[in-house]
Structure 1
Amino acid sequence: MTVNKSGFTRRGVLQAFAATTLAAAPTMSNAFSFGKGAGDIRQLSMYSGRTGESINTIYWIDGDYIKEAVKEISYFMRDWRTNEVKMIDTRTLDIMAAAHNLLDTSEPYMMLSGYRTPQTNASLRSRSSSVARNSLHMKGQAVDLRLKSRSVGQMFKAASACNGGGVGRYSRSNFVHMDCGDVRTWGR
């Protein structure tokens, strides 16, 4: 997996995790701690209406990514049209997890789009001007998500607070785009 370091601020994602630690401190149920060996975990829970699949996995413990869990998430986020899998950039997973923690919900994300092959991206682009020609979806660095219990605006604010990449608000289609590219926002 190629990791492009430009535009990504791990500090922004860590600040989001720190904010959830303080907010969840009384219950400790969702708390993240930063001391190595202190039980620090990162988890993702999602489902796909396209495939009927769901995933709920811890992918990071005490400073280390769990390779098998990241592979499982990457398979889940595959291009369902072709079944092609690309390793999802762990920075995107961290943004997703941090934003979810800021939203203070146990509801799993509904994943609309993860990895896209160039052919799938071209097909979607031919039908919609909002699909980027060089979409980070094709690099395994982007995801489109929805939550029933939270508005697009709430999700957009949480993901933007991570300051870890691009965040797009698609209110008409009821989803938020998150990626680990350059820090930027768009949409209404």
Structure 2
Amino acid sequence: MSSPLTIRSADQIRAPRRSLLLGGLASLAGVLPRKSQAVNAGLNPGSTDPAFWQQPRAVKVQNADTGQRGEFVYWRDGTYVMEDYYALCTLGFDRRENKAVQIDPRVFDLVYATQAWYFGIERKRPLTLLTSVYRTSKTNRIVGGSPRSTHIEGKAADGDMEGVSPKVYAAMLLAFKAGGVGLYEKHCHWDVGRSPTFWRGGKVES
């Protein structure tokens, strides 16, 4: 796949403020998997572990359409690892138009945060299956997305995380208050850069 993706240098990419992702982490004891006996130990990872956002940000993801998958460390030692960040952005390309753009790093931060949260409870690194990340305006119209979809801006993703239901995953994403979260039948939508919002999706994609 040829990609016209243009990546800025690491010093031009601003790391999100911790407060945007840590603010108001909610108690999810009622919705996290009952099988876990250590559920409380896994709650509020940011508030219980000061180093949560200083650790290497590793994610395990797969593109649902292409099957491409991998484990990427896109942030380490206070800066972005451009090779892996580039790979993540390319993995989230618009398949119909064969186009990739720079994805807002906070989209991946939510993947990292929810995977790390789950790992803290189950001691197993889950896979996040990405069904949609970047969309061109044309693709967005084809799939019935909102005309104001944040997918067009590279600030959103759709998918699910193994080991939890979409309902639980939505609750985990919401806890970080980074933007909008939509709960659909088989996946969740999350976006960044706006006030926290929740909705239950219908037939129209976000």
TM range (shorter): 0.7 to 0.9
Change (3 A) 1:162 1:35: closer
- For residues 62-91 of structure 1, what are the alpha-carbon distances to aligned partners after superposition, in whole Å with 9 as ceiling and x for unaligned? 221112211110000001122100111011
Where in structure 2 are the equivalents of 1:133-144 lying within 5 Å?
Answer: 133-144=147-158
Partner Cα distance (1:121, 1:136) in 2:
10
Q: CA deviation at 1:9?
A: 6.1
Tell me if structure 2 keeps the 8 A contact 1:136–1:181.
no
Shift of 1:49: 2.7
The Cα offsets for residues 24-68 of structure 1, whole Å up to 9 and x where unpaired, read as xxxxxxx882596xxx21111111231020021001112211122
Q: What letter corresponds to residue 181 of structure 1 in structure 2?
A: G
Task: Give the fraction of aligned pairs with identical amino acids, expressed as a percent.
Answer: 25
Aligned positions of 1:146-165 closer than 5 A = 146-165=160-179
Q: 1:93 to 1:176 in 2, by over 3 A?
A: same
Ranges in structure 1 where 5+ consecutive residues have no aligned partner: 24-30, 126-130
Aligned residue-pair number? 168
* Residue pair 1:45, 1:109 contacting (<8 A) in 2 also: yes
Q: Helix, strand or coil for the counterpart of 1:149?
A: coil
SS at 1:60 equivalent:
strand
Alignment of 1:61-76 (within 5 A): 61-76=76-91
Residues 34 and 103 (structure 1), Cα distance of their counterparts in 2 relative to 1, 3 Å cut = closer
User: Does the CA contact (< 8 Å) of 2:57 and 2:76 recur in 1?
Assistant: yes
Partner residue in 1 for 2:45: 20
Structure 1 residue aligned with 2:139: 120
Are the aligned partners of 2:118 and 2:126 in contact in 1 as well (CA < 8 Å)? no
> Equivalent residue of 1:81, what SS?
coil
- Unaligned 5+ segments in structure 2 are 1-6, 26-41, 202-206
8 A contact 2:160–2:166 mirrored in 1? yes
Say yes or no: does 1:11 pair with 2:19: yes
Normalized against structure 1, the TM-score is what? 0.78
Partner of residue 28, structure 2? none
Is it true that 1:33 corresponds to 2:51 in the alignment?
Answer: yes
TM-score by length of 2: 0.71
Within the alignment, does 1:181 sit opposite 2:193 as a pair? yes
Q: Distance in 2 between matches of 1:72 and 1:82?
A: 18
Superposed CA RMSD: 2.9
Identify which of structures 1 and 2 has the higher relative contact order when contacts are C-alpha pairs closer than 8 Å and 6+ apart: 1
